[in-house]
Structure 1
Amino acid sequence: MHPNERMKQSSFIDLALLYEGSCCSARYCNMFEQPVCAEGQMYQTICEFEERQCIEFKLFKNHITMDSSQEKCSCTAPCPTEWNPVCDKKGQTHANFCTFLNSKCYHKNQLNQTLEVDYSGVCCEDMCSAGQTSLTVCDSEGKTHTDICSFYVAKCRQMRRGTGKKRLQIAGVGPCKPKNPLFRSFDYFVNRSVNYRQTKTNRV
């Protein structure tokens, strides 16, 4: 039997029908959607709940409904639809501080995790696509970036966080050259020797 035919047969054996109809894939969730509660389970967005609701019905004919009265599902504070984004320390952008607080509550109650704000504004990771160019660059602080995008993310973070004495710049194309303190010390003593000789000559 040809190897391709064997692969096709094994693939068909591994496949199994889960349910009939279209897949219950989660639709795109926008940043303004609120967490919802259903039968004691918290869902971070309503579209995540709708996906679970669809699967429950197709597999078990069980219709689950939203319920915000559960104590464990208290992270559903209504939020305004104003666009005043904040970025958390996991690199997730939230539409405003209110939606961040709902997400923080969700992480604490459901995932037992701590979520904190990193800086105001859209997360720097969302502003460009990593790997969009393979050009390696060295920044002004001596750090190598494998592509332009990672450099701009680092520069954006520095500006948003207010860190760094000087604004990050591209120092050169290619990886940063390693700094050798022994070599610098040798140059230092050579320069001092030259300066000493010049000073001595001028005095004579």
Structure 2
Amino acid sequence: MSPTLTRETVMSEAGITTGPVPLVCPYLYAPVCGSDGITYPNTCALDAAACKDPAITLAYGGQCVAITHEQKPCPDTCPFDYSPVCGSDGNTYANKCTFESSACTDSSLHIVAYRSCDSSAAQPPCPQTCPGEYNPVCGSDGNTYGNLCALQVVSCRDPSLRMTSRRECGAPFNTCPDVCPDQEDPVCGSDGVTYRNECVFQAATCRDATATSTAGECGTTTTTTTTTTTTPPPQSFTLFPPRPFCPNTCGRGFRPVCGSDGKTYYNRCLLMLRACLKRRHLTVAYLGFCV
């Protein structure tokens, strides 16, 4: 079995000296609560703190809820709308406000599901960990999240939160991506071309305001023809940014993957980091150790 490539190994191969904590964390606010009761701006910042104190782990997504004796006044009136939530006491509350009215005097009470307690509809558990790759999305709350999973961690506890765009909040729509994830999630462009994922489509067509895409590969029944045009081709696209800007924000979660180069990586993010530093096309062959 080949040795597992860690973050330190990948960085040292590129001649980059690293310390025990991540060198750079993205300037995005996707808060998470640590087991130490501190709210960190994103998972990378929490990982940095965990490097110094291994006892620190992710408690849940979102800001830490401080329990103090100086609570705001308990609500005495609530709207009549029915948006049931299930409390940890097994009772169904008509809406979040009526739940908060009860929880105001019982600090141990918390929401376990945004539905009635007796509902047979099983809800998937909230994600506890997310990949370290930076593929920003904008939430309806105006916050930029590192990737869709990071948004889902928060939206699992706040169903009103949704994704509004697959880019940083406030980024102009004509901004061309300069790096895309290597994930296989094909979309069909209005030009009849199948793109590896939505980001690659945006990179190739971001100068064309009329371009649209639909999920899935383009139909195989379409007849392909070769035409000559004087229109300049779309902006050239590369999967990799300049080496100094390769995403050096990989977390330390041990989720080994086997790369297409036959080497085992500590996690998927480190495989992508090595691909960026080496300017090589690497993909995940399968999850787990290479055999």
Bin the TM-score by the shorter chain.
0.3 to 0.5
Structure with higher RCO (Cα < 8 A, 6+ apart): 2
Larger Rg: 1
- More helix as a share of residues: 1
Q: TM-score, normalised by structure 2?
A: 0.24
